[in-house]
Amino acid sequence: MTIIDTLAKELGIRKDQVEKTIALIDEGNTIPFIARYRKEVTGDLSDTILRDLETRLNYLRNLEERKLEIERLIDELGELTEELTKKIRSAKTLQALEDIYRPFRPKRRTRATMAKEKGLEPLADYLLSLEAKPGDSLKEAEKYLSEEHEVLTPQDALQGAMDIIAEIVSDDAAYRDIVRHDMFQKTTLVVTGDPNAQDRTYEMYQDFEEPVRLLKPHRILALFRGEKEGVLKLNFAANHDVNADKILRQMITDKNHDSYPYLEEAVLDGYKRLLFPSVETEVRSVLKEMADSESIKVFAGNLEPYLMQAPLTGHVIMGIDPGYRTGCKVAVISKLGEFLESTTIFPTKPHQRIRESKETLKQLIKKHGVSVISIGNGTGSRETEQVVAQLLEEMAPEQIFYTITNESGASIYSASKLAEDEFPQLDVTIRGAISIARRLQDPLAELVKIEPKHIGVGQYQHDVNQKQLSQTLENVVEDCVNRVGVDINRASPALLAYVSGLSKTVARNIISHKESHGAFTDRKAILKVKGLGPKAFEQSAGFLRVPESRNPLDNTGVHPESYPIAERLIGQPLDMLNLEKVAKELNVGLPTLTDIVNELKKPGRDPREDMPKPILRSDVLSIEDLEVGMELTGTVRNVVDFGAFVDIGIKNDGLVHVSEISNRFIKHPSDVLKVADIVKVRIIRIDHERGQVGLSMKGLN
């Protein structure tokens, strides 16, 4: 089966779709460009399917390259046979391929290699041939006695032969499959911990066991982390005797055969010393990879709606970065995100200058016309919130509101080169307050300035494969940025760098060109940027907006290559058009024509307009205000394997366990919820000691 056949089958799409998409990728087209502007070529494949196709394509191509390499390596050893070649070429995974190559892989000096150096391999072959009659094995072993090789007795010779057989058992792909199958289907993971440990993080795993096949991704990551920290001990309780017996029975069925006791000892030794430890390492790796993939998938699923939150436009916003000893940093930004003024207040302990802090905030609010206050959710957040809520009550009936904003990564941004370039004269802490304000005003434009994994909407992000995590999240950011589009005259270099076809260098060149020559006046002017050639223009132009252009199409998602078609539609009653008929008349694909018409209907439309707006508050809740049975409205802050965390306006987010999300069975919370959703919840449990609140959504949404 070819790569094209495999991809078509796995993704459930036609072979011609796969073939044409691969051609587009190989020509250097980006996934956002292909998804948006080559729909007729791909058969209108979504960006999700295109990403999956690209990932699997890379894997399968690497697999084919590795097959050729392994064939070459085995052939150089003079061991390549037709049967081996057939096995190599039919291998479906890298794991299966490495199993085939394992017996031929160069090894460090082992007991088996030392036995081979002593000339004992023919004796091992003799035992495996099952030709020995009673007493023959011992007689055969006498032929290999050698003072030079320190083989002084028949038992020495037989021991060396058994060492060779033990390694053969460990390297055999079929035997490894027996153990793998048992590990994944029948083995139980038994966990023990120190019951006297002060750290309660792993309390639920102190005395825990679960079949390997039932282990959940988040649990795997937690257990491996606990083991790494030395708090937990993990034991894979496999069926060792059964597995060893299966292997032995495949080698020999006659227990009375002269070779049997030697083969039995070799199998048991090979199983315990080599095979099981090796497969256990593999299984751990597979479990980790599976848990990583699922965790990264959850992170990516959370990141997209978080980035695509509706911007809170048209407001002067005050950002507050809470703190204790050094006070709370305050920054005010204009309706366009420009920095206006900053200060520091001290409403929290140990200072608690509440009256003075309120007066300072009141003056800033009145001076700049602040209508929304964005409070970071870090240390001192809820104490700051109480002061702000009291102030807003005192300032009534003025319509001023506040919200708590996720500040994850704000400190990383504020100390970055990008922040330094944006605000060279400002203190690091003030930059953080500006970021907290801007995250409310335009979440996407601000959050792209931070490495995605630091945004804080995942689970166990520090435990997973960092390269895979970064690549997946970068793809999510890229898709979001290009779905929204970018105003080239107002975008930061960080935002521009995510535009299809633009590198970080070209993004900086765009900023430099604008600083030297003024704002871009149309899309064609983009071609004057250093390093931005025809290919980069083709890939990026449709995603870059130029509101200042005389051509209204330059502020839409219509690609310049489609301007002649769009221009023929301008002024026509778009809702009355027979699109199929017009597509034939204009010789254009129906998907492209549909996109053009939608852009002309709502030029410059922001797809984030459809997303729920953040909940703005004017009063404050504490856990003491809550009662079981109370119904509240909250914002989903994070979705994980076991449930969702919802901000209901108290210090800690409440947890909706997966069993409390819906009356119907759901496999994963993300089937129902996504980050930034506004949901109704009912309080079902309050733990005042731990500050935890259990929530339910059943029957409310």
Mean pLDDT of the region 439-459: 91
Mean pLDDT of the region 347-352: 93
Given a cut of 80, is residue 196 above it in pLDDT? no
Percent of the chain surpassing pLDDT 90 = 89
Q: Helix H segments across 369-427?
A: 381-395, 410-414, 417-422
pLDDT in tens, 311-332: 999 999 999 999 999 999 999 9
Alpha carbons 318 and 372: distance in angstroms, whole number = 6
DSSP string, 627-653: -TT-EEEEEEEEEETTEEEEE-SSSS-
Between 3.40.50.10420, 3.20.20.140, 2.60.40.10, 2.40.50.140, what CATH number should domain 623-696 receive? 2.40.50.140
Q: CB within 8 A of 637, min separation 6: which ones?
A: 406, 457, 645, 646, 647, 653, 675
Given a cut of 80, is residue 262 above it in pLDDT? yes
Mean per-residue pLDDT over the chain, rounded: 94
pLDDT in tens, 225-258: 999 999 999 999 999 999 999 999 999 988 999 9
Give the pLDDT band (50/70/90) at residue 308: very high
pLDDT in tens, 72-85: 999 999 999 999 99
Triad 133, 138, 144: Cα angle to 5°: 125
Between 3.40.50.2000, 1.10.10.650, 3.30.1330.40, 3.30.460.10, what CATH number should domain 3-104 receive? 1.10.10.650
For the 317-476 domain, the top CATH level (class) is: alpha beta
Alpha carbons 313 and 336: distance in angstroms, whole number = 8
Helix axes 217-228, 276-307, angle to 10 degrees: 120
Mean pLDDT of the region 63-67: 97
Single out the residue of 442, 377, 432 nearest to residue 406, CA to CA: 377
pLDDT value of position 604: 82
3-state secondary structure 284-296: HHHHHHHHHHHHH
Give the pLDDT band (50/70/90) at residue 223: very high
Given a cut of 80, is residue 690 above it in pLDDT? yes
For the chain, domain boundaries? 3-104, 111-187+238-299, 317-476, 623-696
pLDDT value of position 629: 95
Given a cut of 80, is residue 197 above it in pLDDT? no
pLDDT value of position 195: 76
pLDDT value of position 470: 93
Q: 604: left (phi > 0), else alpha (psi -120 to 50), else beta?
A: left
pLDDT in tens, 625-666: 899 999 999 999 999 999 999 999 888 899 999 999 999 999
pLDDT value of position 57: 98
Give the pLDDT band (50/70/90) at residue 13: very high
Give the pLDDT band (50/70/90) at residue 701: confident
Given a cut of 80, is residue 588 above it in pLDDT? yes
Given a cut of 90, is residue 97 above it in pLDDT? yes
Q: Tokens 């970021």 correspond to what residue?
A: 435
Give the pLDDT band (50/70/90) at residue 612: confident
Q: 433: left (phi > 0), else alpha (psi -120 to 50), else beta?
A: alpha
pLDDT value of position 260: 94
pLDDT value of position 194: 80
pLDDT in tens, 145-169: 999 999 999 999 999 999 999 999 9
Domain 111-187+238-299 belongs to what architecture?
Answer: Orthogonal Bundle (1.10)
